[in-house]
C-alpha cells in the first residue's frame, strides 16, 4: 500500500481524458461532430480510441512502472448521465473500479469532470451558451462527490474553459461550430460560473479525506496558459494585440478563478462582466496546461504562428519548454498554488520529447526556486490518443500506440524512461 502522504506532497503523474482514450464514447457531441465530413483531419474518428475503457488496469501498471504516483483522467458525463437525470449505474461503477485500481497501486487520482465533451442532450439544450443549463453540471459534480468522494481528493472541474470557448464558438473548429467571438466570451463566463457551482457541490459532498493528508477535496480548473509575443517586435500594434489576447485568455480567467468578478474584454466586442459570488474560494489551485508560445502577427493570414526557424512539434507548435518557467511565474502572481496539469509535445518519432521533458522539468525547478508554489506535474499524455480535430496525428504519448492494430498495442518511447529517471532524481 501507499505511504501516508505528507500534506506538502508533490504529485508526479501523467494525464489522459475519457473521450481521447476510452473508445466507444458515442453519446456525446464530439462523437456526432466526428461523423460530419471535413471536421477531423483525414476523416479520423475517435472510434475505439485506445481501448482504455477495458484496459485501464494495464495502463495504470504502465504509469506505475515509471515510478509515477498520480493519474489525471476524466469521467465521461455522457456515459454516467445518458439522459438528464437518468444515471447509468454500470458506468458509475466502472469509474469506481478505476479509482480503486488507482488506490491499490498507490496512485493518487486527479479527476476531471469536464474535458471538452458534452452529453448529446446537454448540447441539444443549448450547451454552455445557456445559463440555465449550468445546474445540470452542478448536479453531475454533486453526484461525483457523493459516489467518488471517498476515493478522490483532487478534482479538476473543467478543462481549459478558454480553449473550449474559442475553438468551439469563435473559430468554429469544434462542436457546435459557431464563429462568433461575442458568443465565445459568454461561454467562457458560463464555464467559469459552472466551475464555481461545481466547486460548491464538491465541497458539500466530498468530505472524506481519501489519502490521509488532511484535505478531502482540492479543487481547480485546468487552465491553458499560453505565451503570446509579437512576431515583429518593432511594431507596437502587435505588442498591443498580444497584450489584449493575453489579457482575455490568460489574465481574465485567472482573476476570476481567484474570486474576482468576471471581466472579458476584446476591442470591438461587447465585453462580458459578471459578478459570481461562488467564485470566491472556489479554487484551491490553478491547473496549468502549458504547451507552447505563439507569435502574434497582424500581417498575413495566420494570426498566430510558431517563431520562424524554431523547432516545432508534429502539429507545428514551437518546442519551447523553457517557457514553462515563465508560464508558472505569471500564474503564480495570482496567489494560488499551482499544479502543472498538462505539459507535453506531439512528437511521433520521439526526437524532441526527451529534451523537452528535461527542459520542462528544469523550468519547473527554476520556478519553484523563484517562489512559485507548484504542487505537481502531470505529463500529457500517458499514451497516444485521439487529438480532437487533429485526429490521430498528434502523438503525445510517453507510450506509443499502434492504431493500425485492433488490440492497440502500447510500447514505451525512450521518453518514458527519461521522464521516469527525471522523476526519480527529484524524489
Among 225, 396, 399, 419, binds ligand FCB (CB under 6 A): 396
Angstrom distance (rounded) from CA 38 to CA 26? 19
Among 129, 342, 347, 350, binds ligand FCB (CB under 6 A): 342
Q: Which of residues 376-395 bind ligand FCB (CB under 6 A)?
A: 380, 387-388
State the virtual CA torsion across 312, 316, 317, 320 in degrees, nearest 10: 10
Q: Does 33 bind ligand FCB (CB under 6 A)?
A: no
State the virtual CA torsion across 192, 195, 122, 208 in degrees, nearest 10: 180
Q: Does 223 bind ligand FCB (CB under 6 A)?
A: no
**Of the ranges 97-105, 158-166, 182-190, 356-364, which one interacts with ligand FCB (CB under 6 A)?**
158-166
CB of 226 to ligand FCB, least distance (A): 10
Q: Which of 124, 194, 183 is nearest to 156 (CA)?
A: 194
Q: Does 324 bind ligand FCB (CB under 6 A)?
A: no
Among 5, 10, 13, 17, binds ligand FCB (CB under 6 A): 17
Among 112, 118, 123, 159, binds ligand FCB (CB under 6 A): 159
162 tagged catalytic: no
* CB-nearer residue toward ligand FCB: 211 or 350: 350
* CB-nearer residue toward ligand FCB: 205 or 292: 292
CB of 390 to ligand FCB, least distance (A): 8
Residues 6+ apart with CB under 8 A from 330: 225, 250
Distances in Å between the Cα of 178 and the Cα atoms of 136, 164, 187, 287 are: 22, 12, 11, 27
Catalytic residue among 342, 359, 387, 422: 342
Q: Does 295 bind ligand FCB (CB under 6 A)?
A: no
DSSP helix/strand/coil, 47: coil
**Of the ranges 159-167, 171-179, 277-285, 404-412, which one interacts with ligand FCB (CB under 6 A)?**
159-167
CB of 209 to ligand FCB, least distance (A): 28
* CB-nearer residue toward ligand FCB: 320 or 388: 388
**Of the ranges 121-129, 156-164, 250-258, 353-361, which one interacts with ligand FCB (CB under 6 A)?**
156-164
Q: How would you label 35-46 residue by residue, b for 16+ Cβ within 10 Å and e otherwise?
A: eeeebbeeebbb
CB of 18 to ligand FCB, least distance (A): 10
* CB-nearer residue toward ligand FCB: 140 or 396: 396
**Of the ranges 32-40, 157-165, 400-408, 413-421, which one interacts with ligand FCB (CB under 6 A)?**
157-165
Residues 6+ apart with CB under 8 A from 419: 66, 357, 379, 398
Q: Cα-flanking dihedrals φ and ψ of residue 71, to 5°?
A: -135, 120
Number of residues that bind ligand FCB (CB under 6 A): 12
Among 133, 157, 245, 289, binds ligand FCB (CB under 6 A): 289
Angstrom distance (rounded) from CA 366 to CA 329? 10
Angle 89-104/134-148 helices, nearest 10 degrees?
A: 50
Angstrom distance (rounded) from CA 376 to CA 242? 29
Among 144, 163, 257, 338, binds ligand FCB (CB under 6 A): 163
- What are residue 400's DSSP bridge partners? 411
Q: Does 374 bind ligand FCB (CB under 6 A)?
A: no
Grid coordinates belonging to 184 = 465565445
Q: Which of 12, 133, 153 is nearest to 77 (CA)?
A: 133
Cα distance from N-terminal residue to C-terminal residue, the chain: 18
CB of 40 to ligand FCB, least distance (A): 13
- Contact residues for ligand FCB, defined by CB under 6 A: 17, 20, 159-160, 163, 224, 289, 342, 380, 387-388, 396
Catalytic positions: 342
Amino acid at each position: 500500500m501507499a505511504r501516508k502522504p505528507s500534506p506538502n506532497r508533490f504529485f508526479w503523474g501523467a494525464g489522459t481524458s475519457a473521450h481521447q482514450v476510452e473508445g466507444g464514447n458515442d453519446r456525446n457531441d464530439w462523437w456526432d461532430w466526428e461523423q460530419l465530413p471535413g471536421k477531423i483531419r483525414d476523416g479520423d474518428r475517435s472510434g475505439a480510441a485506445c481501448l482504455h475503457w477495458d484496459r485501464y488496469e494495464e495502463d495504470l501498471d504502465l504509469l506505475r512502472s515509471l515510478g509515477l504516483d498520480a493519474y489525471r483522467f476524466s469521467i465521461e458525463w455522457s456515459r454516467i448521465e445518458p439522459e438528464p437525470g437518468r444515471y447509468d449505474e454500470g458506468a458509475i461503477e466502472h469509474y469506481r473500479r478505476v479509482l480503486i485500481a488507482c488506490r491499490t497501486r498507490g496512485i493518487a487520482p486527479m479527476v476531471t469532470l469536464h474535458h471538452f465533451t458534452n452529453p448529446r442532450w446537454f448540447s441539444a439544450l443549448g450547451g454552455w451558451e445557456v445559463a440555465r443549463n449550468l445546474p445540470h453540471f452542478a448536479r453531475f459534480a454533486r453526484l461525483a462527490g457523493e459516489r467518488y468522494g471517498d476515493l478522490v481528493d483532487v478534482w479538476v472541474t473543467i478543462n481549459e474553459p478558454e480553449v473550449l470557448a474559442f475553438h468551439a464558438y469563435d473559430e468554429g473548429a469544434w462542436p457546435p461550430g459557431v464563429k462568433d467571438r461575442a458568443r465565445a466570451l459568454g461561454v467562457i463566463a458560463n464555464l467559469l460560473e459552472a466551475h464555481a457551482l461545481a466547486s460548491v457541490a464538491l465541497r458539500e459532498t466530498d468530505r472524506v479525506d481519501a489519502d490521509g493528508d488532511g484535505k478531502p477535496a482540492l479543487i481547480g480548473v485546468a487552465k491553458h496558459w499560453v505565451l503570446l509575443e509579437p512576431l515583429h517586435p518593432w511594431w507596437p500594434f502587435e505588442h498591443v494585440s498580444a497584450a489584449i489576447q493575453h489579457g482575455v485568455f490568460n489574465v481574465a480567467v485567472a482573476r476570476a478563478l481567484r474570486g474576482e468578478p468576471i471581466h472579458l474584454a476584446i476591442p470591438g466586442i461587447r465585453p462580458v462582466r459578471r459578478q459570481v459570488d461562488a467564485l470566491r474560494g472556489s479554487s484551491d489551485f490553478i491547473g496549468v496546461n502549458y504547451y507552447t508560445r505563439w507569435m502574434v502577427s497582424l500581417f498575413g493570414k495566420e494570426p498566430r504562428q510558431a517563431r520562424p526557424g524554431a523547432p516545432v512539434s508534429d502539429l507545428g507548435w514551437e518546442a519551447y519548454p523553457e517557457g514553462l518557467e515563465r508560464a508558472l511565474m505569471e500564474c503564480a502572481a495570482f496567489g494560488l498554488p499551482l499544479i502543472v496539469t498538462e505539459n507535453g509535445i506531439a512528437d511521433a518519432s520521439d526526437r524532441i520529447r526527451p529534451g523537452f521533458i528535461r527542459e520542462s522539468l528544469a523550468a519547473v525547478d527554476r520556478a519553484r526556486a523563484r517562489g512559485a508554489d507548484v504542487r505537481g506535474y502531470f505529463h500529457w499524455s500517458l499514451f497516444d490518443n485521439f487529438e480532437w480535430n487533429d485526429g490521430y496525428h498528434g502523438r503525445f504519448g510517453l507510450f506509443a500506440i499502434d492504431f493500425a492494430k485492433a488490440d492497440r498495442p502500447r510500447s514505451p518511447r525512450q521518453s518514458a524512461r527519461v521522464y521516469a529517471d527525471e522523476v526519480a532524481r527529484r524524489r
